[in-house]
Chain A
Amino acid sequence: MRFLFLFFIRNAVRSRRVVWMTVLGLVPVAIAVVRVLAANLLGTNVDASGFFLRLTSSLYLHILLPLLSALIGTGIVAEEVEDRTLPYLLSRPIPKRRIVVSKSLSACLIVCMIIFLSLVVSYTLLTAGGGIRSYLSNLGSLFHITAVLCLGSLVYVPFFGMLGAAIKRPVLVGLLFAFGWENIVANFPSKIRLFTVVYYLKELLPQTDTTTMGGGIGDILDYFASGAALSPVVAVAALSAMFVVFSGITVSFLYLKEYRMEQG
């Protein structure tokens, strides 16, 4: 299991897909740079922690996390089918579930690493002006946010992996789910939002003042939405259950479904 995990990590970090994903992960960094430059030019103070939290909610949670998870997660099985390397894995004396779990975990780690790298750089840029004290004072938030987003990747990646194992165009369907269902339904005031991942993740993030948020469909809908807060224990339990269910379904697909490699 350890070797398989490291094997998939090694393959992933050398792939072009992950290089592009890392570049994508730098978009929030660019926004942080613009914000800092604008503040310097206009001579205004940057509310570093406030802006960082808003950046986290609007960009990382609603866009970057689902996008990276969709693009990397859908490849768990589909990539091996498209690259026609699946027969090499399936002709080894290893259970199929071990292949899926190892590759899912490696995909989660890749997503987490890209997000963590991007968060650390954004955070450093935004808080650098305030000195070391300002930097250290909100370090807890940085790790809190990273932990929540990593937990999110542990649910999103198996979900998108499940799509990749089940259907032919998983990325398209995955993006529709990420930016349709997740970004809109999670903000509905009804109980239907319990069927989204982002709802639970939002409950776990450090709370922000939504009335001052500057953009994003999620933020705008947040303003109109209301509802009782969920306890962190329930949110973590719900996310854990989703992780188990999505991983289980992905594994089942590999046992039940056969993958015909196209002649090449």
Chain B
Amino acid sequence: MKIEVDKLSKWYGQVIGVNNCTFTLKPGVTGFLGPNGAGKTTILRLLTGQLKPSKGSVTIEGEPVWNNHRLFRAIGYCPEHDAFWQYLTGWDFVYSLMRMHGYSKGESAARAERAIGTVDMMSDRSKRIGSYSKGMRQRIKLAQAIAHDPQVLFLDEPLNGMDPVGRRMAIDLIKQMGGEGRTVVVSSHILHEVEEMTDTILLLNHGRLLAEGNIYEIRRLIDTHPLQVTVQCEEIDVLMSKLVAYDDVQSVQFDRQRNRLTVETIRPDEFFDRLPDIVLENKIHVESLWSPDENLEAVFDYLVR
């Protein structure tokens, strides 16, 4: 099914949530990538008719989504919120939502069972959702979104809180559904998550569509963008003397009070390959290591500049 977004804007008073976005979504998996607050959830809510566009339009197969309940026969939606009717069991939850789709008792039960099985929740289906872990709640949310076999699937941060096994299952499921010719839209603020599911992304920041296309272009951009790495250790002088010898290190900053060294490298992969050897050879006791601009925010700032 074809989803068309035309000059879509959404504002709340003075605040702009989505700013003049135009794009088309075709069958297959598309990732909405952007830092927190980029407008991913707002766009997904506009796409699922939870919000009304302030300007522009959202159509699925030529029909507007807002106040068009009939479209939801073909749409599955997994919201970002970790919210449920807490008194229901996982099975009741999926079954009840299938009944609301108009399926008979038997058909709803069969669909609920199939979907719950797909997300590996059969053994916990009779427990109350209130007693589920975050990962289990994510799985059951995913089950309700796929149980009616939708042609269009909107998944808002579906991997949040899932354990590695759950993530693998969800990623495989999303890829499989996309491969079957369904239009699957997944939002995430984590690049490698999206990278595992699809090549096609929409890059969003501050409500604007920054880029549309192949994820490898973005990855290349990230790889060539200087990365800052901060290391906290007692032996910062030793570490600095070793690091400055490499030509990928563009700058080094000290913070002696907190024993921190911030390095800017233009080849992060090489840097991270080399660092463990330096640490071991020189008996440096690293207390912590992090990258202040490792997240997408830095790349987006770079793109906007």
Closest to B86 in A: A83
Main secondary structure of the interface of A (DSSP, over half): loop
Q: Are A258 and B67 in contact (CB under 8 A)?
A: no
Q: Are A93 and B87 in contact (CB under 8 A)?
A: no
Given A3-B100, A7-B96, A93-B102; A261-B70 close (CB under 8 Å): no
Check if A94 is an interface residue, CB within 8 A of chain B.
yes
Given A15-B87, A84-B83, A260-B12; A92-B101 close (CB under 8 Å): yes
Q: Are B85 and A11 in contact (CB under 8 A)?
A: yes
- Total number of B residues with any Cβ neighbor in A under 8 Å: 31
A115 to B12 Cα, complex, angstroms: 42
Check if B23 is an interface residue, CB within 8 A of chain A.
no
Which of B48, B67, B75 has its CB near the most chain A CB atoms (within 10 A)?
B67
A7 to B84 Cα, complex, angstroms: 14
A88 to B51 Cα, complex, angstroms: 14
Taken residue by residue from 76 to 88, chain B's Cβ proximity to chain A (1 for < 8 Å, 0 otherwise) reads as 1101011111011
A7 to B108 Cα, complex, angstroms: 14
A92 to B101 Cα, complex, angstroms: 6
Q: Are B97 and A88 in contact (CB under 8 A)?
A: yes
Q: Are A94 and B69 in contact (CB under 8 A)?
A: yes
Given A3-B100, A92-B101; A264-B69 close (CB under 8 Å): no
Check if A133 is an interface residue, CB within 8 A of chain B.
no
Interfacial chain A residues near B50, Cβ < 8 Å: 86-87, 90-91, 258-259, 261
Closest to B41 in A: A263
Which of B73, B85, B88 has its CB near the most chain A CB atoms (within 10 A)?
B85
Interfacial chain B residues near A168, Cβ < 8 Å: none
Task: For the complex formed, measure the closest distance between the CB of A244 and the CB atoms of chain B, giving whole angstroms.
Answer: 21
A-B contact pairs, 16 of them (CB 8 A): A7-B100, A14-B87, A83-B83, A84-B79, A85-B84, A85-B85, A87-B50, A88-B144, A90-B50, A91-B76, A92-B72, A258-B51, A260-B12, A260-B51, A261-B81, A264-B82
- A-B interface, 10 closest residue pairs, ranked by CB to CB distance from nearest: A84-B83, A14-B87, A91-B77, A92-B100, A93-B72, A84-B81, A87-B79, A93-B73, A3-B99, A258-B51
For the complex with contacts A91-B48, A258-B52, 5 further pairs of A-B residues with Cβ separation under 8 Å are A14-B87, A87-B48, A88-B79, A93-B101, A261-B50
Report A's interface with B, CB cutoff 8 A: 3-4, 7, 11, 14-15, 83-96, 255, 258-261, 264
Report B's interface with A, CB cutoff 8 A: 12, 45, 48-52, 67, 69-73, 75-77, 79, 81-85, 87-88, 96-97, 99-102, 144
